[in-house]
Amino acid sequence: MLRLQFKGVSRHFPPKRGRSESEGVLAVDDVNVEVGDGEVVSLIGPSGCGKSTLLNLASGLDRPSKGEVFVDGAPVSGPNEHVAFMLQKDLLLPWRTVRRNIEFGQEIRKLEPDKRRQRAEMFLKRFHLDGFADHYPHELSGGMRQRAALARTMMMNPDVLLLDEPFSALDAQTKMVLQQDLAGTLADERKTAFLITHDLVEALALSDRVLVMSRRPGRIIKEIQVDIPDRDNPMERRQHERIGPMIAQLMGLLDIGSSEELV
C-alpha cells in the first residue's frame, strides 16, 4: 500500500509584485516519489533544492503548480489528520506542561481525557520523559524539548510522519540517542516516515531508501536502497562495514568538496 505519492509534481513560485516574470522560482520540477506502508525514506540534496517545499506539499500547507500529491491514495488538498509534521524547532507551548503539550493535538480532536492521558503516559515513558511530565518547557534541555515534540507528534498516530531536520540543532550525542528512540518507535508502530536531513549518516542509519535531489529546480537524480540490517537500531547500523562506502557514494552524488556546493 502506498502511503505517500508525488506524481509529476512541480512547484513554481511567481515573482513578487512589481518584479519581472523571470524572477519567479521553479523550486521543484517533475518529482515522482512513492513511499510504501511502514517505509522510512530520507531526502537529501543541496541547500535550496526544494526539499522543504516537498514536505509542505505533502502536508497540505502548499499546493503544487503541476502534478498531484496523494496520502493513502487520496489527493492532498489541505492539512489532514493522516499526516503529522515535525520541524527543527520544538514549538512547545510555554504555558502547558510537558504532558499537556503532548496531549494537545488529541485534545483538539476531542479524544476522551482518560484515553488521552493513558496514551500520553505511554509516550512519556517511551521517550524517557516520565519524570518530567509536570515540568514546563523552559525547565527542559534542548534535547528533552525535542523529545517532547517527538512524543507530541507520535501521539497524533499519523499514517505519514513528515520530519524536517528534527535533530539538526542538537549535539551529536543527544542526536544519536533521539535517532535511536525514533527508529525504535517507527519500527514498533510500523509508521511511514519521510525525512529531510543534511546528515548523510543519519539518512543511512534511519532509512530504507535515500533519495538524492539535484540543485534547483530540484529533481530526484538517484535512489539508494539501504540494504543494511537493523533499521530499528541506528547505533548498530552506524558500525556496519557498508556505511562508509555508502557515505562516499552520497558525497559523490552531492559533489561535496566542490566550492559551488553547500549541503
Q: Tens of pLDDT along 11-55? A: 999 877 666 666 689 999 999 999 999 999 999 999 889 999 999
What pLDDT digit, counting tens, does each position of 170-221 carry?
Answer: 888 989 999 999 999 999 989 999 999 999 999 999 999 999 999 999 999 9
SS3 73: coil
Average pLDDT, integer, range 87-94: 89
Which pTM does this prediction carry? 0.89
Would you call 36 helix, strand, or coil by DSSP?
strand
Amino acid sitting at position 165: E
Report the mean per-residue pLDDT for the chain: 90
Tell me the sheet residues that pair with 11.
Answer: 28
64-68, 126-130, 229-233, 243-247: least confidently modelled range: 126-130
Task: Quote the pLDDT of residue 81.
Answer: 84
Q: Using CA atoms, how far apart are residues 183 and 190, in angstroms rounded to an integer?
A: 10
Count of residues making up the chain? 263
Judge whether 217 and 26 are in contact, CB under 8 Å: yes
pLDDT of residue 262: 40
Residue ranges, comma separated, of all CATH 3.40.50.300 domains in the chain are 1-82+160-263
Per-residue pLDDT tens digits for 128-160: 898 999 999 999 998 899 999 999 999 988 999
Percent pLDDT > 70 in the chain is 94
State yes or no: pLDDT of 260 exceeds 70: no
Can you tell me the distance from the alpha carbon of 69 to that of 33, in angstroms, rounded to the nearest whole number?
9
CA atoms of 226 and 223, how far apart (whole Å): 10
**Cβ atoms of 60 and 70 closer than 8 Å:** no
CATH classification (class only), 1-82+160-263 = alpha beta
pLDDT at 258 over 60: no
The closest of 35, 45, 44, 42 to 6, measured between CA atoms, is 35
Residue 162: beta bridge partners? 85, 194
CA distance 116 to 149: 16
